[in-house]
Amino acid sequence: MTIEEIRLSGLLEYYILDLLSESERQEVEGYLQEFPELRKDKIDIENALHNYAKAMGIEPRQGVEDNILDSIRQMGGIKSPTVSPPPASAGFGSLLPWLTGLLALTLIIGAYSFFNLKGKMDQMQSTYADSQAKCDSLRDEQNKTIDLLRKINDPDSRKLIMSATPGFQETQLFFHINDNSKENYIQIRRLPLIAENEVFQLWSLKDGINPIPLSTFRGDGTDIIPVDFENGTGTYAITIEPRGGSLAPNLAKLICTVGV
C-alpha cells in the first residue's frame, strides 16, 4: 500500500482504538516504520480523539454511524451489525469489553464529525479570506480614484482641452496641470486605436530645444492617468510610438497638443 492508501484506509484510526487483529496491528506497525510521516498522522489522530473525548459535544451527521459501522465491519473490527448490550446478570468483567467497544465506536463517530466540521470551517475561512482580499483590493482602487479626483479638482489645478490634429479628430483628452504641486494628469474621453506593439507618448516642447520624451501609456480601461511634469514646458504633445517609447517624436502620428 502507498502512504496515501494507508491514510485513506482508516487503519491508523482502528489501530489507535485497538480495533484490529494482532496480524493487522503488526501490519500497521510495519507501515509506521516504513513511512515515518505516518507517525505525525498518528499523533494528530490521537490528539483529535483526545480532544473529542474531553468535549463530547459534536453531533455526527445523519447516516455517519451506519457508514462507519460498515467500514469497521469490512476491516474485520466488528463482526455483528450492532453492538448488543450484555445480559443484565453479567458482572463488571463482562461489561468491560462491551463498554470499550461502545466507547471506541462513539470516538470514531465523533472523530469523523470533528474532521468533517474542521474541513467545513477551513473552507469557510478560505472563502472569507478570498472575499476579504477582494474587498481590500476594491477599497484600494476606490481610494486611488478618490485621490485622483481630489487632485484634478484642486483649486490650483487647471483643466485644459487638448487639440486633436487633423488625422486624429476622434481624440478627446483633458489635460490637468498643477504648477504648484508639479503634477500632470490626462483625463481620457476617447483615443485612437493603436496596435499591440504601440503606445501613446507625452512630449514637452520648449523653445530652442528638441522635444523632451516623457510618460508612455496605452489608456486601456483607465479614465485618469498621472503623467510626467516638466518645468518650463510651453506645449505638451502626444504621439503614437513603438512600445517602450522613443527618443524623438514621430510627427506623422502626432495626435494632439495643448499649450500651457
Read off the pLDDT of residues 195-245 as tens digits, 9 standing for 90 and up.
999 999 999 999 999 999 999 999 877 789 999 999 999 999 999 999 999
User: Whole-number mean pLDDT of the chain?
Assistant: 80
Distance between CA 145 and CA 194 in Å, rounded? 25
In this structure, which amino acid lies at residue 127?
Answer: T
Give the residue from 181, 186, 178, 184 showing the smallest Cα distance to 161.
Answer: 186
Span 154-164, average pLDDT? 94
pTM: 0.49
Contact 219, 198 (CB under 8 A): no
Distance between CA 157 and CA 176 in Å, rounded? 6
Give me the half-sphere count of Cα atoms (radius 13 Å) on the Cβ side of residue 125: 6
Distance between CA 75 and CA 244 in Å, rounded? 68
Q: Can you read off the three cell numbers belonging to residue 35?
A: 513511512
Contact 203, 235 (CB under 8 A): no
pLDDT digits (tens, 9 = 90+) for 86-129: 444 444 444 455 555 556 656 666 666 666 666 677 777 788 78
Residue 164 pLDDT: 97
Residue 162 pLDDT: 97
The pairs formed by 21-28 with CB atoms below 8 angstroms and a separation of 24 or more are 21/76, 24/75, 24/76
Decide if pLDDT at 172 tops 50. Answer: yes
Decide if pLDDT at 171 tops 90. Answer: yes
Give me the half-sphere count of Cα atoms (radius 13 Å) on the Cβ side of residue 150: 7
Decide if pLDDT at 81 tops 50. Answer: no
Contact 255, 236 (CB under 8 A): no
Instruction: Tell me the domain boundaries of the chain.
Output: 3-81+91-125, 158-259
Span 27-56, average pLDDT? 80
Determine what percent of the chain is predicted with pLDDT higher than 70.
72
Residue 43 pLDDT: 87
